[in-house]
Amino acid sequence: MRNRLKGGQQNSAVFKGIGSILATALFSVLLVGVTHAEGGQPVPWQIGFQEPVTAIARQIDSFHDFLMIIITVISLFVMGLLAYIIWKFNEKANPVPSKTTHNTSIEVIWTIIPILILLVICIPSFRLLFAQYTFPKADLVIKATGNQWYWSYEYPDQGGMSFDQLMLRDDDDKPIDGPNGEPKVLAVDNFVVVPVNKNVELLITASDVIHNWTIPAFGVKVDAVPGRVVRAWFNADKIGTYYGQCSELCGKDHAYMPIGVKVMSEADYGAWLAKAKKEYASSEPVGKKSGDAQLAASANASTNR
């Protein structure tokens, strides 16, 4: 093949190019690293993930950063290669095209290297997957049921205490900010409350269509499927208020069924529990606020399944 790389001069240029690619990749990862949005909710101009407050979320975060390095290097390498080929092998520079069809060593290289890259990726990927599905002994169990378009929660260990969680709206049915500075569209009437540094097991289901329960800062995102109970867990190590949004297209008000979780100290959680048990003590089934008996019945059906 004509016009191949010739001599050490071109080789050193290639190494310099690879060096600058690596430097750019490192810079982009640093950029991702410093742009964590704190406070359990998205912020304007956020680039990275929300600040992780569970070990799993931190593991997801570092896996993401690790993948960012790999995909940046691959993208820049392919882009550089394309630019080099356009410059070096265009019609003007290369009037007689090569008739080369095979190059065994290059073919071996471009088969082996992607396999090695995938092997390198699969190790932390499987480690994360196993960590997510290794359930520790639960200190607290909470059942979350997705409804069109709000969430219902039950604390089965607390006498089946249950309540609904709806987005805050004004009289015109418009989303509003919460009374304590909670953000519009994410502000909810009743927060799920959990103690800090405790293993919380979630039982997630839905009463009508598929919804999705998530709190990005916890690294939890699970489909809520009617007729099925899916388990998830988290152990939040930072006191605060955390938000998520239904993440499965579920109809007209899909964007208006936020999820709000408050992580409290053990003492505050105890105080909340005592109050909540009285406040939410009710024989009414899940779905009571919808005024739809059928919905409530189907929520109960999925409970019993």
Chain contacts with Cu ion (rule: CB under 5 A)? 211, 246, 250
* DSSP label at residue 244: E
CA distance readout (Å), 198 to 42, 78, 138, 218: 24, 46, 8, 13
Closest distance to Cu ion from the beta carbon of 167 (Å): 11
Dihedral of CA 6/8/12/13: which sign? negative
Closest distance to Cu ion from the beta carbon of 290 (Å): 14
Omega cis (within 30) before 272: no
CA nearest neighbour of 153 among 284, 144, 257, 161: 144
Beta carbon nearer to Cu ion, 143 or 211: 211
CA distance readout (Å), 25 to 29, 78, 119, 131, 204: 6, 14, 20, 28, 39
Task: Tell me the sheet residues that pair with 247.
Answer: none
Spatial separation of the C-alpha atoms in residues 86 and 106, rounded to whole Å: 19
Closest distance to Cu ion from the beta carbon of 160 (Å): 24
Beta carbon nearer to Cu ion, 247 or 300: 247
**Sequence-ordered alpha helix ranges (H) in 35-146:** 55-88, 104-132
Beta carbon nearer to Cu ion, 236 or 246: 246
Closest distance to Cu ion from the beta carbon of 212 (Å): 7
Beta carbon nearer to Cu ion, 236 or 250: 250
Closest distance to Cu ion from the beta carbon of 254 (Å): 5
Closest distance to Cu ion from the beta carbon of 24 (Å): 39
Spatial separation of the C-alpha atoms in residues 76 and 85, rounded to whole Å: 14
Spatial separation of the C-alpha atoms in residues 121 and 156, rounded to whole Å: 39
Beta carbon nearer to Cu ion, 254 or 262: 254
Beta carbon nearer to Cu ion, 194 or 246: 246
Confirm if 134 and 140 have CB atoms less than 8 A apart: no
